[in-house]
Chains A and B, each alone.
Chain A
Amino acid sequence: MLGEQKLKQIADKVLCLSKADQTEVLLSVSGNALTRFANNEIHQNMAWKNLGISIRVVTDKKIGVASTNSFEESALQCVIAKATTLAKLQKPDPSFVSLPLPCTIPEVKNDIHHATEDEMAEGARTIIEKAKKEKLKAFGAYANDVSELAVANSLGVWAYHAGSSCNLSTIVMGENSSGFASDVARSPDAVDAKKVAETAVSKTLESTNPQDIEPGEYEVILEPQAVSEMMAFFQWYGPNARIYHEGASPLSDKMNTQVFGKNITLIDDPFHSDVFPMPFDFEGHPKAKITFVKNGVLKNIAYDSYYAMKFHKKNTGHALPAPNTMGPIPLHLYIAPGNKAREEMIQNVKRGLLVTRLWYVRVLNPKVLNVTGMTRDGTFLIENGKIVRPVKNLRFNQSIPEALNNIAGIENKLTPLASFEGEMISLAPTLHIKKWEFSSRTLF
């Protein structure tokens, strides 16, 4: 890691060299390691480090972006020249007003923890040993990501943060069953490998000899991993200013109206004690805890500087790195916990399915936000409030807004989870959903 002072010097040098009307510098330094295991032994083990600099220049509302992975003076000059040339070749964007002005960045402690290759191997070993005892096979990965991120612009923005995450996940397999478990934390000391091993192994044993079940409409208990996988698509296609103002979001034109059930509150909190904190966005604008949906009523959507100025709204600090063709995204969104214990929620199901996680979820139509996907690694039939047997996996086709209008129960706690890429940590409760549409079955 290079530290704030060194990165500030590099940013200042770039800002000094650039002759554009406005210039933004995004700097990143990363050190990563990953230990993968399969068939009860480590099979891929790697470490890599990199750095990156991305420069956005603006001249007469014309924007160019160039990036490279060297901080050498010659590389900096080259990347500035490239971005400047691109900007000159651009057409003016009439909707562009300005890069963001400096604002006070909330203080968040820089918190870095490196995991050694031996610590990571030990995490894998704990799971492998537990699986072997039960004559099962363990597969999984232990990732350690350490990063520094800094943003500066010629209007005076300076923001710096350093952090880390450790993510241990596994799928344990038997002859005809599998079970998933994971844990995420900021430091390797806080990763509970034993608990991950026990959860995955017991899930695998419980799902032995799954039976066929008819597809159709079922009540479901979605465990936190499944909820997170469902809500990932809502993050991208829901409260996103770009899509919202195109009229292509299921939330378009619905501000201050009831969009979900009254028991649904959606919060974006980049400072939650269980998440990987992010005090500013990729333009260096401060982040804040924001309620997007309160008791089912849409209250806010996510803006970055471009869309905030274009539509005369407040910048909510949700910019992604430039050039961003996806729109502003809330990266720390979660469903506020309810008042039910997991077991109580299962007891309230007359006939339904408990789903450990979802797999290969894809959007069919972003406007209605219906998605398809499979269940995976532990699906169980619930009858009269009790889990009665494991069942084979099913395909679903389900509208997310419809599901959020049919919530019968929300767990009273949030579970921290690694995101799809393992780089961010998200939070999710278990949900009891009254209707979920399964359309076909598979062979296992």
Chain B
Amino acid sequence: MIKQAENILSKIPSADYADVRIVDQTSEDIATKDGVVEALASSSSIGYNVRILKDGVFGFAASNDMSEHGIDETIKKAIAIVKASAADKTTNVELDQCDPIIDSYKTPRKEDPFSVPMEEKIHILLEADKEQKVSNKVAVTQSSYQANRERKYFVSSIGSKIDQEIIWTGAGIEATAVDGPDLQNRSYPNSFRGQNQTRGFELVRELELAKHAPEIAQQAVDLLTADTCPTGEFDIILDSNQLALQIHESCGHAVELDRVLGYEASYAGTSFLTPDKLFNFQYGSNIVNLTADATIPGGLGTFGYDDEGVPAQRTYLVKNGMFQDYITSRDTVTKLHEINNQYNPPSGGRSNGTVRASSWSRLPMIRMTNINLEPGGEKGTGKAWTLDELIADTEYGIFMSTNRSWSIDDKRYNFQFGTEIAWEIKDGKLGRMLKNPTYQGITPQFWHSCDAICGRPEWTVWGTPNCGKGQPSQVMYTGHGASPARFRKVKVGVVKW
């Protein structure tokens, strides 16, 4: 396929820069509901795109037609788009320096999910589905599995030739209990499609879905009679699966440089983290260290090279609470240098390699890789707490787990999250179960209230396979490393039930 990509590239007439990506995607999805396999599907899609930089603007065209005629038409379309865009340009797209790379990358895995017999996958899910039927109050039982393989072949006019095979796998269960007007869900190991990682089928085996199903389903039933989460300003401890989404929404999206520059303003919004705040804005307390790291083994945002041919890397976004850097692309980072001539992060101020497209038909853009809250006990992150120690250290508070709802404003200030379940903490001990927990805040104030983070043994890289951005919409898979952490005096129980 690299040869085919080179053939396409060779047909592009003179340009300042050009690249070609051929992408071959395959996916498998299984979903069960109430003991029946509701979905058993396999899909594949193959196509290519050309991205041409000429006269200071990009033109992008994509097609599934790989015939010589189809390729010629696609290139012609991209050139016509360049001409239409160039007519009114007021600035020129400039790319940062990038070294040509010739390399291959494959997601490390122990067991290829596409080689595991389908009967076995169905059996694992139906067993997990069956084990959720612990009470007649359990109205719906569900389990799901998904596996994706993405083969990407990238060539560019600077001489890069990169082929990659990214594999990611995921699974989870969800029990729904209903009683009159009340409905409660519990999921394992996480809500919204479970846990997902760039690993093989070994992840699904490790999850032991059926083993955890009865406890999870019983919690859904118990929530029906649990007390409602109280309203007030309380200390809260967020479980790592909830903190992962908090990081995603209030840090990950806020540090996307294309969003900061207004490129996403017409759809997903902008960001409060404007370039004047670089190196002088205290984003959180001094134990808050946030990184973008595309090199973490198993992270859903882990790869070898981004879709501009830039190597995967680790970047500090917030260090000891101070805002340090954005996630960037080759064209946005040059704009940042124009806006802020003090921009000189440890990465050297070149693209930090976060550009991906969700398919061959989509424009590559800045996407979160693995955006992480570094665990306690590391340099500058305070003590490495255990969750038990953290609860014991909390006089009164709420421990919240597993996301149920999420929303944040279009500059990433005001957020509100709900979780599936919570427990009251009283005198350092976990007490009664609480239903319908919600909390609300303003991003920097919230991160300033973080005073304790659990250590690496409780640090998990959660996968978020449903991150939406861009027009046309692109759903991307991202990762978030987190361990439970405590936040002081947060507004809790904000919804009338």
Interface residues of A (CB under 8 A from B): 32, 34-52, 54, 63-70, 82-83, 85-87, 89-91, 93-95, 117-118, 120-121, 124-125, 128, 137, 139-141, 143, 169-171, 173, 246-248, 322-325, 359-368, 370, 372-374, 376, 393, 395, 397, 421-422, 437, 439-444
Count of interface residues, chain B, beta-carbon cutoff 8 Å: 84
**B65, A140: Cβ atoms closer than 8 Å:** no
**Chain B, 72-92, CB within 8 A of any chain A CB:** 77-78, 80-85, 87-91
**B57, A173: Cβ atoms closer than 8 Å:** no
User: Given A69-B47, A362-B405, A442-B413, are A121 and B88 neighbors across the interface (CB < 8 Å)?
Assistant: yes
New contact pairs (10) apart from A86-B41, A368-B181, CB-CB < 8 Å: A47-B81, A48-B361, A69-B44, A89-B122, A117-B80, A323-B29, A360-B407, A395-B416, A441-B414, A442-B414
Cα separation A421 to B474 with both chains bound (whole Å): 10
**A372, B405: Cβ atoms closer than 8 Å:** yes
Cα separation A171 to B270 with both chains bound (whole Å): 12
Closest Cβ–Cβ distance, residue A59 to chain B (whole Å): 12
Q: List 29 A-B contacts (CB under 8 A).
A: A34-B471, A36-B266, A38-B263, A41-B88, A44-B60, A44-B363, A47-B77, A48-B49, A48-B62, A50-B45, A64-B40, A83-B42, A89-B40, A117-B83, A121-B84, A128-B88, A141-B267, A143-B472, A246-B139, A246-B178, A248-B178, A325-B39, A372-B495, A374-B414, A376-B269, A393-B409, A395-B440, A397-B496, A439-B495
Cα separation A120 to B90 with both chains bound (whole Å): 18
Cα separation A118 to B80 with both chains bound (whole Å): 9
What DSSP secondary structure best describes chain A's contact surface? strand
User: Given A36-B471, A246-B139, A370-B495, are A46 and B363 neighbors across the interface (CB < 8 Å)?
Assistant: yes
Contact partners of B83 in chain A: CB under 8 A = 117
**Chain B, 17-55, CB within 8 A of any chain A CB:** 29, 31, 33, 36-47, 49
Cα separation A324 to B176 with both chains bound (whole Å): 19
**A43, B363: Cβ atoms closer than 8 Å:** no
**A360, B409: Cβ atoms closer than 8 Å:** yes
Cα separation A443 to B497 with both chains bound (whole Å): 27
Interface residues as binary, B105-122 with A (CB distance below 8 Å gives 1, 0 otherwise):
000000000000011001
**Chain B, 395-437, CB within 8 A of any chain A CB:** 404-411, 413-414, 416, 418, 436
**Chain B, 179-220, CB within 8 A of any chain A CB:** 181-183
Cα separation A443 to B445 with both chains bound (whole Å): 12
Closest Cβ–Cβ distance, residue A40 to chain B (whole Å): 7
User: Given A47-B61, A91-B37, are A68 and B44 neighbors across the interface (CB < 8 Å)?
Assistant: yes
User: Given A69-B46, A143-B471, A170-B266, are A367 and B119 neighbors across the interface (CB < 8 Å)?
Assistant: no
Closest to A121 in B: B84
Contact partners of B126 in chain A: CB under 8 A = 91
Contact partners of A68 in chain B: CB under 8 A = 43-45
Cα separation A85 to B472 with both chains bound (whole Å): 34
B390 at the interface (CB under 8 A from A): no
**A86, B42: Cβ atoms closer than 8 Å:** yes
B467 at the interface (CB under 8 A from A): no
**B64, A325: Cβ atoms closer than 8 Å:** no
Cα separation A140 to B472 with both chains bound (whole Å): 12
Cα separation A137 to B262 with both chains bound (whole Å): 10
Contact partners of B182 in chain A: CB under 8 A = 367
**A325, B33: Cβ atoms closer than 8 Å:** yes
- Would you list the 9 A-B pairs with minimal beta carbon distance, nearest first? A323-B39, A367-B183, A442-B414, A48-B62, A117-B84, A139-B265, A46-B60, A139-B266, A48-B361
**A65, B62: Cβ atoms closer than 8 Å:** no
